[in-house]
Amino acid sequence: MKKLLLSLVAIVGLTIAANAQSTATDSKNENITVELKDAVELTLTSNANGNAFLFDNVDEYENGLTNLNASTLKVRSNKAWKIDVKANSANFTGGDATTPMPASVLSVGIGNQNFLPLSTTAQDLKTGPRGTNTVAGNFFNVDYKANPGFNYSAGVYVMNVVYTLTQP
């Protein structure tokens, strides 16, 4: 019995000693801020001869010429986006200055459809989702159609086309 009492006292003593050895801890919290601002990027690549037209017979003058997949546009955006297109000026430069060729001789489309005759007023060309240029719809080709008819003298005419990417 003495052994039992001694064992019981030893067990109780060890339990008290174990509880007395608590580990000290201290914790702190810190707030981390991540600020995301609107971000967009438009990449334009002109494909081989995509932005040049050569009219050298009457059928081309009468029917116009189309350059399919003339340029490639790639969009990266952290929000849904839209691209507008417009001419940088009301008329082409060069050629015969007595009969200026208007911007509307050139049209821009996607997939050989929905061609928009250009002017200095921006027109909606395409919209798309947030993401990189590997997201469906954020990588596409534009087509150009030129149709001067017989109204302008022979010569080289030049005009800038402006693409503007925005997050509406």
Asked if residue 10 has pLDDT above 70, the reply is: no
Q: What is the mean pLDDT of residues 17-22?
A: 59
**Whether residue 122 has pLDDT greater than 80:** yes
**25-79 pLDDT tens trace:** 999 999 999 999 999 999 999 998 789 999 999 999 999 999 999 999 999 999 9
DSSP assignment of 51-104: T-----SHHHHHH-EEEEEEEEEEEEESS-EEEEEEESSSB-EES-TTSPPBGG
pLDDT tens column, 93-112: 999 878 899 999 999 999 99
